[in-house]
Amino acid sequence: MFTVTLMTNHAMYLDTNLVANLRNAMGGGAATWLDPNHCAEFDAPKIPRNIQTVWESLSAEGVDMVWQKAGDRKRKMLLADMDSTMIQQECIDELADEAGVGTRVAEITARAMNGELDFEEALLERVGLLKGLPEATIATVLEKRITLMPGGPTLLATMKANGAHCALVSGGFTAFTQAITAKLGFDEHHANTLLAENGTLTGDVTRPILGREAKVEALNRITKTLNIQPAEVIAVGDGANDLGMLQLAGTGVALHAKPTVQEQAKHRINHGDLTSLLFIQGYAKSDFVTA
């Protein structure tokens, strides 16, 4: 048995007829509305062979669809990427913009996140372009340029209220993950450390560089410490360096992700916000905890 979840963003309503028609076509049971306006789910005995075509059709109408094995879907751990996932920006791009090399760095970032470039090489090239930038610029960027992804505070508050461990693992920088961890309430954070001398960025980071494999290692290490299994983790990210952890986690979600990530991730959310991760775990809107 499978559970099929249908969701829209807050700007549009989920059509009751659409839910009923899809449920009937899949031979599903009665629909449960987790949000009276935006989310419904139903159980179905099997997933049709044309599910990808159905997903594409729904996505074109602004509807996200996730299907997974029925049963207890609530996860004991959240493992999240930061840039373009828990926040709406790429921190390195914002720093580069302040340094006057924004266009060049943003181009490299886009290619790296789509898997077209080696992550470590791309990171070092971009960080090198920040050489000479005042370290104080980090605080300026945090204050003026960084905004939380919608739904993030509710996601963290609800999962933590239900006993989940929440970890932030980023290929970005500790100066930013520390601030986001404090703001959202993550239990721990891991990222790369920008090096500075006399208040100025040197254009380098500490080694080893935290990339794709380090995120997988973090998932394995943290779950072992918590005495839980990777299957009990929900992971979310948007870039190619997130694919390893998304594929290892019991529930791996590509959120507004790059094309290559969407092609390989288990689940995709292209329209909803981070509260979609609660819906696909079976939480109703009435269960949400506001931060």
Residue range 131-170, pLDDT digits in tens: 999 999 999 999 999 999 999 999 999 999 999 999 999 9
How does DSSP classify residue 148?
Answer: B
* Residue 76: closest CA among 232, 235, 277, 276: 232
Lowest mean pLDDT of 27-36, 66-75, 102-111, name the range: 102-111
Q: Find out whether 276 and 155 touch, Cβ atoms under 8 Å.
A: no
pLDDT surpassing 90 at residue 211: no
CA pair distance 78, 160, nearest whole angstrom: 9
pLDDT higher than threshold 90 for residue 118: no
pLDDT tens figures, 160-203: 999 999 999 999 999 999 999 999 999 999 999 999 999 999 99
Tokens 């992550």, residue? 119
Q: Do residues 119 and 212 make contact, with C-beta atoms less than 8 angstroms apart? A: yes
A 10 A CB-CB count for 106 gives 17
Distance CA 144, CA 110 (A): 22
Q: Which residues are catalytic?
A: 81, 83
The angle at the Cα of 83, spanning 102 to 246, to the nearest 5 degrees, equals 135
| Gap between the Cα atoms of 162 and 16, Å rounded | 30
Token pair 């973090």 in the structure block, residue:
218
| Token couple for 256 | 């507004």
